[in-house]
Amino acid sequence: MIRVLELSKNYGITRAVDNLAFTVERGEVLGFLGPNGAGKTTTMKMLTCYLPPSSGTAEIFGFDILKDSMEVRRRIGYLPENNPLYTDMDVSSFLELAAQLKGVKKDALKNSIDGVVERCGLGEVVRRKIGNLSKGFQQRVGIAQAIVNDPELLILDEPTIGLDPRQIIDIRSLIRDLGKDRTVILSSHILPEVSQVCDRIIIINNGRLVAVDSPDNLRDRLKRSSMTRVRIAGSGDIAVAERVISAIEGARVIRTGETGGDGSALVTVESSSDSDIRSALARKLIEADIPLLEIYSEELSLEDIFIRLVTEEGEA
């Protein structure tokens, strides 16, 4: 188990992480979610003993990050946001170096490298120079170096940043596979990342804890409201549509965007969970001569949950 105990980090007068406290169960895939600048990377660096906390501490499988930092490091595989690769080395040589630095014994070296090459899908590029690989393969090499010593805990900081859609799908699949036999903490500001990969999520904002729960439980907690999506033709009608919708009792426009190539725009409307405002929305928009293309209700997405929780935390 990982226990984070009132962890804080100051940079001068700026508090980047503010008294974080949470636990991660053994074998759990935990999403660490927050906007850019929320304190995710600073927290990851403290958990991996790269940065000392200003106050508080954490225990990784019973070892304190301050008192037992070497024992903690032996049990962690870490992929930083900026993938630390030697681009002039080939994949095999780099993984051999990483394994040696992580203390893999000489008689186990070949099996360890062969194992991560197979698991991370690097067989076709194992003799190629890292600098000549695609971004997707370079991320796979970064994950391979993180697990070459078979760590109990794998910490990944923004593992799909800069990847194309196909590469993102591949890396997500790899993370799900790795989570079957180890604890994983995945830091990201990309909402689909955590919803598709993680068992439970932690949301932080401005260095403070906002929520800890599974995506489904967070949705249940916020079911006091529902979301209705309205698509209208003609972006020039957006301002009029917002006024018409806001005049409906219990309706509130929370987001307007996704203007399509056809000139349509999507308006997201919030209302109480016990009322269906679709008929009222349709009637009022048509009466105002606003061309309505579609209207539908939708469960709270992780993005809606994130915006709501962060907004409420900021107001508090």
Q: Which of 192, 220, 248 is the last residue of a domain?
A: 220
Name 25's Cβ contacts closer than 8 Å, sequence gap at least 6: 1, 183
CATH of the domain at 161: 3.40.50.300
Distance CA 291, CA 307 (A): 29
222, 305 Cβ separation under 8 angstroms: yes
In terms of domains, do 198 and 260 share one?
Answer: no
Any idea which of 204-208, 216-220, 279-283 has the lowest mean pLDDT?
A: 216-220
Domain assignment present for residue 145? The answer is: yes
| Rounded Cα distance, 36 and 33, in Å | 10
Residue 250's CATH number: 3.30.70.240
Question: In terms of domains, do 31 and 134 share one?
Answer: yes
φ/ψ bin of 214: left (φ > 0), alpha (ψ from -120 to 50), beta (otherwise): beta
Please answer whether residues 86 and 145 qualify as being in contact, where contact means their C-beta atoms are separated by less than 8 angstroms. no
Task: Supply the pLDDT for residue 223.
Answer: 62
CB atoms within 10 A of CB 193: 24
C-alpha–C-alpha distance, residues 185 and 306, integer Å:
18
Q: Which band of pLDDT confidence, cut at 50, 70 and 90, is reported for residue 183?
A: very high
pLDDT of residue 115: 94
Cα separation values, 47 from 66, 133, 135, 204, Å: 10, 30, 26, 16
Residue 210, pLDDT score: 86
Q: Are residues 167 and 216 in the same domain?
A: yes
Per the domain annotation, does 163 fall within a domain? Answer: yes
What pLDDT does 37 receive?
A: 84
Q: Specify the pLDDT at position 300.
A: 63
Q: Are residues 203 and 186 in the same domain?
A: yes
Structural domain harbouring 260: 224-299
**Model pLDDT for residues 80-91, shown as the tens digit of each residue:** 988 989 999 999
* Span 179-193, average pLDDT: 84
Check whether residue 153 and residue 39 sit in a common domain. yes
Q: What is the pLDDT of residue 144?
A: 95
Asked if the model's pLDDT at residue 225 lies above 70, the reply is: no
At residue 271, the pLDDT reads: 79
Number of H helices, E strands in the chain: 11, 14
- Considering only CA atoms, which of 187, 245, 221 is closest in space to residue 305? 221
Q: 109 and 190 share a domain?
A: yes
275 and 177 inside one domain: no
Rounded distance, CA 308 to CA 302, Å?
10
Per-position DSSP letters for 75-116, written without gaps between them: TEEEE-SS----TTSBHHHHHHHHHHHTT--GGGHHHHHHHH
- Total number of domains in the chain: 2
User: Tens digits of per-residue pLDDT, 92-148?
Assistant: 999 999 999 999 999 999 999 999 999 999 999 999 999 999 999 999 999 999 999
In a domain, 304, yes or no: no
User: Exposed, middle or buried by CB within 10 Å (0-12, 13-18, 19+), for 281?
Assistant: buried
> Is 308 contained in some domain?
no
pTM of the model: 0.76
Are residue 148 and residue 77 in the same domain, yes or no?
yes
Q: Answer yes or no: do 85 and 153 share one domain.
A: yes
Using alpha carbons only, give the angle 196, 1, 302 rounded to the nearest 5 degrees.
25
pLDDT at 229 (0 to 100): 85
